[in-house]
């Protein structure tokens, strides 16, 4: 793995992480057995009938001070060490 050339402008730490967060709404049809048409004997949350993505966010986080930066600022404001 290559070393990180970017550093946090707040604390000058080079330990940064790129993160992607997403939120979803899972739907399960109500039927006579376990909820969801794909669940026949027991409810298993990964066997959903419908999934809708509601939001997502990509950001860079400093692992030292916890400051979060929008991903598009990577080459503009995060200093190279």
Predicted confidence (pLDDT) per residue in 20-62, tens digit: 999 999 888 776 556 667 767 777 777 778 899 999 999 999 9
Answer whether 72's CB lies under 8 Å from 4's CB: no
The size of the chain, in residues, is 81
Helix (H) or strand (E) holding 53: strand 50-62
- Supply φ then ψ for residue 52, to 5 degrees: -125, 130
> What pLDDT does 9 receive?
87
What confidence tier does 4 reach under pLDDT thresholds 50, 70, 90?
low
Token pair in block for residue 80: 């190279």
| Residue from 57, 53, 54 nearest 70 by CA | 57
Q: Regarding predicted confidence, which is higher, 4 or 52?
A: 52
Whether the pLDDT of residue 77 is over 90: the answer is no
């Amino acid at each position: 793995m290559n070393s990180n050339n970017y550093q946090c402008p707040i604390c000058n730490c080079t330990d940064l992480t790129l993160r992607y967060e997403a939120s979803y709404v899972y739907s399960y049809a109500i039927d006579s057995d376990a909820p969801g048409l794909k669940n026949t004997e027991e409810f298993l949350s990964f066997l959903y009938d419908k999934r809708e993505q509601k939001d997502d966010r990509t950001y860079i986080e400093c692992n030292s001070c916890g400051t979060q930066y929008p991903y598009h600022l990577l080459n503009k404001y995060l200093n190279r060490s």
